[in-house]
């Protein structure tokens, strides 16, 4: 794997995504959920909201890099607030 630019942040990112998928799979098996309607007026489950959160966070980070540049930890704070809003109201 020397041809890839694996760094600790990159490995942590993919590790956290993998861990989230495992946790959400266990939650779905142990605590089945019925879909609910939120502000988007579509039925969503925990997995759907996780996907919306990950997709939105990617766009937030890309916009941050394009408009502001460095200091990416501040974008993480915005992403965490976005994730809390998605899981609460979507």
* Beta-bridge partner residues of 43: 37
Confidence of residue 15 (pLDDT cuts 50, 70, 90): very high
Contact 44, 25 (CB under 8 A): no
Q: How many CA atoms lie within 13 A of 33 on its CB side?
A: 15
What is residue 43's three-state secondary structure? strand
Q: How many CA atoms lie within 13 A of 4 on its CB side?
A: 6
What is the residue-averaged pLDDT of the chain? 90
- Name the burial class of residue 54, with classes exposed (0-12), middle (13-18) and buried (19+) by CB atoms within 10 angstroms of its CB: middle
State if pTM tops 0.85. Answer: no
* pLDDT single digits (tens) 24-62: 999 999 999 889 999 989 999 999 999 999 999 999 999
Q: Where are the domains of the chain?
A: 1-32, 36-90
């Amino acid at each position: 794997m020397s041809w890839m630019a694996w760094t600790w942040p990159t490995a942590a990112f993919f590790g956290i995504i993998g861990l989230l998928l495992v946790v959400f799979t266990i939650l779905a098996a142990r605590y089945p959920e019925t879909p609910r309607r939120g502000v988007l007026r579509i039925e969503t489950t925990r997995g759907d909201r996780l996907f919306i959160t990950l997709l939105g966070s990617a766009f937030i980070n890309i916009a941050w890099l394009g408009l502001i540049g460095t200091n990416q930890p501040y974008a993480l704070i915005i992403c965490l607030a976005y994730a809390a809003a998605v899981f609460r109201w979507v």
